[in-house]
Every structure is written in structure tokens, then in C-alpha cells.
Amino acid sequence: MSRRAARRAAYRTASDIQEGEFSPMVGSMYAAISGLRAHQQKMNVIGNNIANVNTYGYKTQRTTFSESMYSSVRNSTGGTATTGGVNAAQIGYGCTVGTIDMNMRTGNYAVTDNPLDIMLDGDGMLMVGPIKQGIDAADTDTLSSLKLTRVGNLRLDNNGYLTDGNGNVVYGFKKADAADDYDTGNLVPLRLPAAGDDPTAEGDRLALNSIAISENGEVTGVDGDGKSHLIGCIALGYVDNPSGLTHQGGPYYAAGGNSGNLRPGTCGNVVNAPDDSPVVSFASKMVSGTLEMSNVDISNEFADLITTQRGFQANTKIITVTDEMLSDLVAMKR
């Protein structure tokens, strides 16, 4: 056999491998390459987790592997009256990334002493977005256009709107009058009342000396005369599968797909929603003066880092050994 023919025999194409016609040495090469890619992807996820260990509201991610498809050298056959059955003989093509999941577990407290900073202790997410006059609480399509976040670094803008750190207005429920129940059928941007007799009028907003957010999400302010004013109740977003939310970058998530439809809710029983209302009552509470820290467990990440590095090294060793075996095969004619 010539040297060129030996090389052709040693290095088969990927299509040959997928059809089950390949040298075991070349098959090990492709399996090791798939292992390198999978471990590199896991390393990217671990690196992102460690990089965000001090990012408020960050939810750690986990990578799982799955086996690649198999080539059957021999099929499984049942026994007959004269012969016994045989098991299948299969050779795999390595591994691939199976899933990259989010762990939505609540993180620890980070005390900020800012009364407008809030942490959600429990389920639910703040609903923020552009300014709209009102959103029907049962309109799932419009609700899903809002962003969801666990980072409650809230503040008031120059027009009196309650916003997050990136200028998205916070949505919630309001009362028509202090004696009325909250209007649970309509979500509105939370805003300071007007300075005049009509709290819903446009123009200058009421000047308040202090603003506080209670455990159930009610936002109240006190004016210069010591009179208390109820601004509204912060709404929370609820989906059946929080791990199915789509990360939009930064602290924001979007509902849809496998997360299920977005439904509004509140902490505790602060709203008196009718039985047919889509509003959900959470057992969560809001802790003012704090923000939620990342839920990354740095010790677990370093342990995963070590095992992932060792897995990567083992796959590189397979490639090195396979290369040596192929070199020996090419050198047989020398």
C-alpha cells in the first residue's frame, strides 16, 4: 500500500462516520472533538456565572451533557428455537450540550439603606416597560410585552414616574379614591399624584418629603404638611415555569414559549380581586432598603471548573493518542 493510500484509509470523512463505516481510531477523534466543544461550552457558562457573582439579581446557569447518536455495528436480535439472542453493539459519537438551565432560586440580601430599593423575598418579578396609559390585566399579549426583572433599584424621574435604574416605568394597581379597592382589572404606570385637587391631572406633581414601600408593595409618600398619600401598589408578574423565561440581557427577562403566559399579581392579600380575576396573590414580601444578590454559589462553580478542565484535558489526550496511532498506520509502509 502506498503512503497516499494509507492516508486515505486512515482519514475517513464525517459522512463515512455517520453511515457507520469508519475506523475506530478516526471515530475516537471525532468523539473527542465533540467532547472538547461540549466542555468549552460548559466552561463559557461557568465563566459567565463567576463573572456575575456580584451582579444584583443574577440567576446562575447550569449545563448538562447528553450522548450523541450511535452507530450500530450489530443490531439486537431475539432468540429462536435453535439460537440465542444477541445484544446490540453500538459506538457513540461523543457528547453534546443537552440543556443550559437557569436556577431561579432567590438570592441573599444586600443592604443598601435606600428606601426605594426593594428585594422580592419569594416568587414573582417586577413588571416594567415603556409608558402606557393602562393595560388590561387579562390581555396576555400586551402583558408579555413588558419586561420582567428581580432587580428593584427604583427611583422617581422628573415627571413623577416610579422607574427602575434604566428608566423603565414600574407597573402596578391604583385606587380611584382612598376608600376604594384597587382596580385589579387595569395595570398602570405608578406615578406621583398631581399637585392640584385632581390627583389624575397632568402638570406638576405633588412634592413629597419621603416615600416608603411596604412589604405588600404599597407605595406611600408624606408631604410637607405630614399628610400621607397612597401612590399605588407595585404589581408582580407570575408565570407557571420561571425557568422557561427568556433572558433579554441585563436584569430583564421575557415571558412566552415554555414559561407560560404572564399573569399579574401582588404580595399578600393587599388587593381584593374577584374570583374570575387573573390577578395572583403571592406569599412573597418586598424588603425595602435592600437588593437581591446573585444566587451564584462560588464553591460549586470552582468545583465545576476543575471537573470541566479535567474533562477537556482528557479529550485532548484522546486526540493526541489517536494522532499517534494514525501516524503509526501511515508509517507502516516505510
* H-helix segments, the chain: 3-10, 14-18, 24-51, 140-143, 298-330
Owner of C-alpha cell 468549552 = 40
| Cell numbers placing 282 | 403571592
DSSP at 20: T
- pTM for this structure? 0.81
Q: What percent of the chain has pLDDT over 90?
A: 51
Mean pLDDT value of segment 120-130: 93
Mean pLDDT value of segment 201-227: 88
Mean pLDDT value of segment 185-195: 90
Please compute Rg for the chain using Cα positions. 30
DSSP at 180: S
- Average predicted confidence (pLDDT) for the chain: 86
Strand pairing class (285-288; 290-292): unpaired
| Cell numbers placing 258 | 415554555
Q: What are phi and psi of 179, to 5 degrees?
A: -85, -10
Mean pLDDT value of segment 4-33: 57
Strand pairing class (263-267; 280-282): parallel
**Res. 27 pLDDT band, cuts 50 70 90:** confident
> Looking at residue 287, what is its pLDDT?
94
